[in-house]
Structure 1
Amino acid sequence: MNLQDDERLDYLLAEDLRIIQSPSVFSFSLDAVLLSRFASVPINRGKIVDLCTGNGAIPLFLSARTKSRIIGIELQERLADMATRSVVHNELDEQIMIIQDNVIGIAKKIGFEAYDTVTCNPPYFPAIDASTKNKSEHYTIARHEVELTLDQAVRSASELLKQGGKAAFVHRPGRLMDILTSMRQNRLEPKRIRFVFPKEGKEANTLLIEAIKDGKPDLKILPPLYVYTQDGEYTEEVRHLLYGDE
């Protein structure tokens, strides 16, 4: 394993895998863990696409849950390279393929209506003035809608999915109405929502949502997920997601 610059090799403890991370380029967050466990995936012989794959965290997490083929799409060459090296290091290159390309219009290249599940951890923040963006260009593109808007991500997910296929997104609660509107405009019917709270008594700061392509209206609000106890420790559920059975 040849690490570059300030890259490091971190453990994904629950999955017994390793991943290349860089504090100046990209490191995955808890959101990726939550989405990879929330999404419904086919166990065998399915086809999955992860949009905005970053350094490949979500495909790696998903590989512990399914034997299906997984494609990760990442615009940034440096991040796609990190993801590819992590996949090879974990000997998962027969299951996971990383493609360095634009999420917009990706179905034209890898196939329309051909996939069972699409996951996406898109940029959360609108593209506004440069003073509010991250100093790192890599983080700016990953976190701000400078190269990809929410609506474009939802449209690409719909184009990729088979009828009855499922799209799972993680986002911020403040964008809920935008997400619901965009999903319905793109043939994705929201079916499950789960709000994530830092701890009891605090406002939700993360939203998990799954939709079915051409599904019938029947939205379920799942029980809340709390990240920390009142003592500042991870809750039992989050500890299990991060560390597995200890």
Structure 2
Amino acid sequence: MESTSLLKNDERIDQLYSQDVQIIQSPRCFAFSLDAVLLADFVRPNHRHKLRTVDLCAGNGAIGLFLHKKLGGTFIEVELQPRIADMARRSVELNQLADRYQVLNMDIADVFTAIPKDSVDVVLCNPPYFPVTAQSRKNPNHYLAIARHEIATNLETVAEQMSGLLKMNGHGYLVHRPDRLTEILKMMEEHRLIPKRLRFIHPKPGRDANMLLLEVIKDGKPGGLKVVPPLTVSGADGQYLPAVRELLYGQL
């Protein structure tokens, strides 16, 4: 099937050249951004044939698809919004990965109706970053508001479902905002997810971190958190620095 026949009116195909993956995107309702690429890069390689990976709040499936060479086994992408879940399904088809990937259009709160507890090796999540308060300025675009604000899910639900899915010593990976780090660490430990590796992402030299990447292990040994070297995205001129260019385009 030609790739153009998989597209709907307002959609385009973007490519992550470093992983040779094509993703169906729509600027009107959802498009993956650098946080998805960075989270996929942060995941430890594991080529076990029977590995089971679940991507919660999967959006158009970008993070899971970026990992098709790095992780073995099968993937389940869980996305609440029907239009975006449909884009994920077509992206799987576009990359000819339907034998390894399944997309579930459902609320992550209901995930145990489809995936047994304690059955998953790796859980990924790029959740909504912003809590909803009386002062929240939510995006007027409904798709984007749900993706960015804790309207349909929240950090506690993410921690609870990640923990419930993972086998003992399974690995969870999260991308989030540094201003919520204290809350994130507390919530993870309350749900038996022991933080093991943390990386801060800085937009430019001399700027505060605006993103964090966290790896947790279910029922892991307490303590031992490593804060690995930070990553700076762009130079003072706004151009991507070499390490980030390589993540996007491969070795140039």
Length-normalised TM-score, structure 1:
0.97
Q: What secondary structure does 1:210 align onto?
A: strand
Contact 2:6 2:94 in 1 (8 A): no
Counterparts of 2:191 and 2:13, CA distance in 1: 38
Counterparts of 2:66 and 2:120, CA distance in 1: 18
Counterparts of 2:22 and 2:114, CA distance in 1: 29
Counterparts of 1:102 and 1:58, CA distance in 2: 18
Deviations 1:124-182 (A, max 9, x none): 01123597111111111111101101110111000000000011000000010111011
**Which residue number corresponds to residue 170 of structure 1?**
175
State the Cα distance separating 1:245 from its structure 2 match.
1.6
Task: Give the 3 Å change call, closer, same or farther, for CA 130–21 of structure 1 in structure 2.
Answer: farther
**Which residue number corresponds to residue 43 of structure 2?**
39
Contact 1:12 1:18 in 2 (8 A): yes
State which of 17, 22, 26 in structure 1 corresponds to 2:21. Answer: 17
| 1:229 maps to 2:235 | yes
* Deviating more after overlay: 118-127 vs 7-16: 7-16
Alignment of 1:52-91 (within 5 A): 52-91=57-96
Deviations 1:173-222 (A, max 9, x none): 00101110110000000000000001221000000001000011210000
Aligned length: 246
Counterparts of 2:81 and 2:95, CA distance in 1: 21
Contact 1:41 1:116 in 2 (8 A): no
Counterparts of 1:51 and 1:162, CA distance in 2: 16
State which of 28, 35, 43 in structure 1 corresponds to 2:32. Answer: 28
Q: What secondary structure does 1:63 align onto?
A: coil
Counterparts of 1:19 and 1:167, CA distance in 2: 23
Deviations 1:4-51 (A, max 9, x none): 121111112111121110111100110000001102242122010000
**Which residue number corresponds to residue 203 of structure 2?**
198
Counterparts of 1:56 and 1:130, CA distance in 2: 31
Contact 1:40 1:166 in 2 (8 A): no
State the Cα distance separating 1:3 from its structure 2 match.
1.6
State the Cα distance separating 1:67 from its structure 2 match.
2.5
Counterpart AA for 2:230: P
**Which residue number corresponds to residue 189 of structure 2?**
184
Length-normalised TM-score, structure 2:
0.94
Counterparts of 2:171 and 2:198, CA distance in 1: 13
Over the matched positions of the two proteins, sequence identity in percent amounts to 47
Alignment of 1:151-162 (within 5 A): 151-162=156-167
* Deviating more after overlay: 9-18 vs 144-153: 9-18
Counterpart AA for 2:30: F
**Which residue number corresponds to residue 225 of structure 2?**
219
Alignment of 1:100-179 (within 5 A): 100-129=105-134, 132-179=137-184
State which of 200, 209, 213 in structure 2 corresponds to 1:208. Answer: 213
Counterparts of 2:144 and 2:238, CA distance in 1: 27
| 1:92 maps to 2:86 | no
Contact 1:67 1:95 in 2 (8 A): no
Counterparts of 2:129 and 2:89, CA distance in 1: 24
State the Cα distance separating 1:237 from its structure 2 match.
0.9
